[in-house]
Amino acid sequence: MVFISATRQPAFIVGDDITESMVHSPPVCLTIPPISFSTLCLFLMTVSSSMTTTCAASRHFIAPSGRRTILAFQVHKSLQHSTYYRGNEWNGRYYSIISTPFQAQQNLLQSMRISRVASNSLLPSYPFSPSFKQSISADTESINVDEETIYQEEEDTIFALSSGGGGASIGSGATAVAVIRISGPCAFDALRELLSPYSLENGAKKGEEEIKHMKIPKLPKPRMASLRTLYDPLSVAKGRSDNNKCAANSMQERRDPLDSALVLTFPGPNSFTGEDIVELHCHGSRAVVHGVLSALSSLSSTPITTTQDGSNHPPSPPRKLSLRPADPGEFTQRAYAHGKLGLVEVEALADLIVADTSLQRKQALQQFDGRLSRLYGGWREELIKGLAHAEAVIDFGDDEALDADDDEDDGDGNDIENDGGMSIWGTIRPRITSLREAMNRHLADASRGELLRDGLRIAIVGRPNAGKSSLLNLLAGRDAAIVSSSPGTTRDVVEVMLDLGGVRCTILDTAGVREEKEEGVNEIEVEGMKRARRAAKDAHIIVGVVDATDFDRGLEAVKELIHGNDSEFEGELKNGNVIYVLNKLDLVERQGDQSMSELSDSVTFGISCQTSEGVDGFLSSLTSQALSLVSGSDDGTDSTMNPRLLTVEGTEGAVITRARHRRHVEEAADALERFEQLSGQGYMVLDMAAEELRLAASELGRITGAIDVEDVLDVLFADFCIGK
């Protein structure tokens, strides 16, 4: 028997019953019916003079009304370092529950039932018994253990709209198909509910025979798409309340169909999350998506009807669906938790989910299919090899003729001078050099990778009323910015997202820049110009719009903005990343041709926003500019430059996309560079050079998993004949 006494904060549950006999065995369960508190932390500790036992259960206990919460904990005897907790030693054992707020704690204690499950931890779950429900209001001081109220904690089943359309919330834009994903132990049960045209709950009460009649819907074959009709469980409830009598008499109320959807099931553990997964490919209209999602929400805490095919199992007591909308990233979290993804892959998946454009998706997929892992793995192997060679020289160079390099050993092996192993030291240097070069190359690629992930920023700049906003609207294909003939209409920076050849680009329309002394310039416009300058500074590509009718002043304004007195610009923005656009060509009689030659060092286009003349050419040039920025095809660091370098199969195009990876690879490459410097200096600095290698290995190990000394020794003994 367990007693609970609620005194003050924190409350103590003094459990005479929780003794050594429980150690290691039975989980203790607290079942808490729906109560309104937000967070709860259970911390349980017992200490006695002869043993130290600690245990804790801490998990998310966000308990919206209508959901039950179960705390399960198990008392573990700590065998080894138990005396670490001596600071907590108390004369008696005690257990404490800390919860918040105080009222909630009172509620908890009042409504809490404590019981113990027999040592079999695989007991099925039980629902609340009616007697338990009644005893919720029972006296706090005397708590009786109801053996029926035995629970086992089970993970919630989660669901979410997994296709696009604004992420988790039902977005404004409708798509053709919307994918709703359900993952968790009750996923298939939830699907059964949706597939059944009748309420399964009513059927369950009518006994087994009738259930057979009702035909609990069969699930589609695993991993096979099948077209099914989804029914709305909500509609029955409505119908029943409208017509109680009807519900009682007729065998079943037919539910309203929700949608005709493609249904896929993936039984765990061979699924993305490792749990049972259901995918519903519904029609993408807002009404359907909303309908299915709210239907799923409504299914929460509906009893689960057992299936017929599990006939060899003893009839398990009915369970309840515990369904809830997924938190952002929760599917991935579960996949990670079930060992389905490595760290690198999880990061890639996060990118994949938010990938806006096709190129972004491709990059994320590359990482996801382990290309990056393979690349890092290849580096790791190479580094282990290098380390093994270095260690061989250090530990055995004095004793052994380390003539591992057979090329130099032309059969006259007897004459090999024992040079302290420096000859193989020489042979690993080029390998380390190529490794470092490979790293640096990928680091160079990495900035491109980051560009691709984060998107390009393209700023449209120019004098007021040059037609910047018109150009933006033209590119966006809608009226994103207000356009008027009066100068200075655009005050703030207007952003429009655009997909240029698969590259995500943010087009920034900025306020026109002119001399502050000019007539009609007010404070707001000055601020707008300041922002325009900032936008231009941060941009990867600048589109300078020049009014063809006011060519000189317009050009000057753009040049001033780009090159300005701000010297920071010089280095960052290459001229190649500036595109000049001569607007309002329709207003001039081709007289700009000659003046345009002034800009021959930059890409220049004459267009007319009014007539759309020349816009296509400009757009394709802008696109290729954007593509070349992210693909780096023209920057000479192409991997074809040095094909001998690090030929790890299938790593082409792998790009470092994470800042964390980047930092470690940078550190590793730096260490390798120092290694190269040092290793050229002979025997004296051997250990320092080796130290740099070790440093590089530990940096790389932070991405790929640590390099153990045993890994190195394995290679060492496989590569070198060392022996006394």
Partner 1 sequence: RDLYKLNMQAVLLGDSENGLEKYENLDVLEASAEDLLLEEGEGIESLAPFADPLQNDAASTTSSSGEEQRVQTAKSLSSTAANASHRRARIRGVLAIDPSTGSRLEIESSAVVLTTGTFLRGVLMIGRERYSGGRHLRDSEEVEPPSIGLALTLERFGFPLGRLKTGTPARLDGRTIDWDGCKIQPSERPAQPFSHVRQSRGEEPPMAAVGRLIDCYQTATNEATHKLVTDYAHLLPEYDGMDGKGNGPRYCPSIYKKVERFAERKSHNSFLEPEGLNTHIVYPNGMSGPYPEEIQLQIFRTMKGLENVEIIRPGYDVEYDFVNPRVLTHTLETKAIAGLYLAGQICGTTGYEEAGAQGIVAGANAGRAAGAAYRGEEAPEPFVLGRDEAYIGVLIDDLVTKGTLEPYRMFTSRAEYRISLRADNADLRLTGKGAEYGLVTDPERLAALDMRETMITDNVERLRKFKLFVTEWAARGGSDIMGGDAMNRPGRESHKKSAEEVLGMPHVTLKHVEEVMAAVHDEQKTQQQQQLSQNEDEAIINNEESIECFIPTPSSVYDTVEASVKYKSYVVRQEKDIESWRKAQGARIPPNIIYNHSIMPTFSKEEIEKLNRFKPTTFAEASQISGLTPQSLVYLYHHVMKLNKESKRKSESVDGAIATANGKM
Does 130 sit behind a cis peptide bond, omega within 30 degrees of 0 on the bond before it?
A: no
Nearer to partner 1, 586 or 673 (CB): 673
Q: How far is the CB of 387 from partner 1 (least distance, A)?
A: 8
In whole angstroms, how close is the CB of 346 to partner 1 at the nearest point? 10
**Between 76 and 313, whose beta carbon lies closer to partner 1?**
76
DSSP calls for 260-277 = EEEEEEE-TTSSSSSS-E
- 3-state secondary structure (DSSP) of residue 57: strand
81 vs 245 by CB, closer to partner 1: 81
The C-alpha R_g of the chain, in whole angstroms, comes to 35
Are the CB atoms for 128 and 111 separated by under 8 Å? no
Q: How far is the CB of 720 from partner 1 (least distance, A)?
A: 9
Closest CA to 321 of 348, 352, 297, 347: 297
Q: How far is the CB of 354 from partner 1 (least distance, A)?
A: 21
Cβ(128)–Cβ(31) below 8 Å: yes
**Per-position DSSP letters for 72-120, written without gaps between them:** EEE-EE--SSGGGGGGG--SS--EEEEEESHHHHHHHHHH-EEEE--S-
DSSP H helices, 635-723, are 659-679, 686-704, 709-719
Interior angle at CA 276, CA 271 and CA 278, nearest 5: 90
**Which of 279/400 has CB closer to partner 1?**
400
Name the minimum Å distance from CB 698 to partner 1.
9
User: Is 454 or 687 the residue whose CB approaches partner 1 more closely?
Assistant: 687
Closest CB 99 distance from partner 1, rounded Å = 8
Minimum Å gap between C-beta 384 and partner 1 is 11
Structural tokens at position 393: 């020289």
Write out the two tokens for 439: 């790293």
Render the burial of 241-259: b for 16+ CB within 10 Å, e for the rest. eeeeeebeeeebbebbebb
DSSP-derived letter for residue 413 is: G
Residue whose token pair is 């580094």: 383
CB of 701 to partner 1, least distance (A): 7
Nearer of residues 42 and 629 to partner 1, judged by Cβ = 42
CA gap 54, 1 in Å, rounded = 20
For residue 496 the two structure tokens come to 């429009």
Q: How far is the CB of 97 from partner 1 (least distance, A)?
A: 10
Do 220 and 265 contact (CB within 8 A), yes or no? yes
DSSP track, 695-717: HHHHHHHHHH----HHHHHHHHH
Query: CB-wise, 177 or 721, nearer to partner 1?
Result: 721
CA dist., res. 361 & res. 352, Å (int) = 6
Nearer to partner 1, 50 or 137 (CB): 50
Q: Which is nearer to partner 1, 275 or 445 (CB)?
A: 275
**664 burial level (CB within 10 Å; 0-12, 13-18, 19+):** buried
Beta carbons of 56 and 138 less than 8 angstroms apart = no
Indicate the residue among 87 and 314 with the shorter CB distance to partner 1: 87
Closest separation in Å from C-beta 58 to partner 1: 6
* Cα–Cα distance, 125 to 308 (Å, whole number): 19
User: For residues 432 and 561, which CB has a smaller minimum distance to partner 1 in the complex?
Assistant: 432
- Strands of 206-255 (E only): list them: 226-232
Closest distance of CB 71 from partner 1, Å: 12
Q: How far is the CB of 337 from partner 1 (least distance, A)?
A: 6
Q: Which is nearer to partner 1, 50 or 485 (CB)?
A: 50
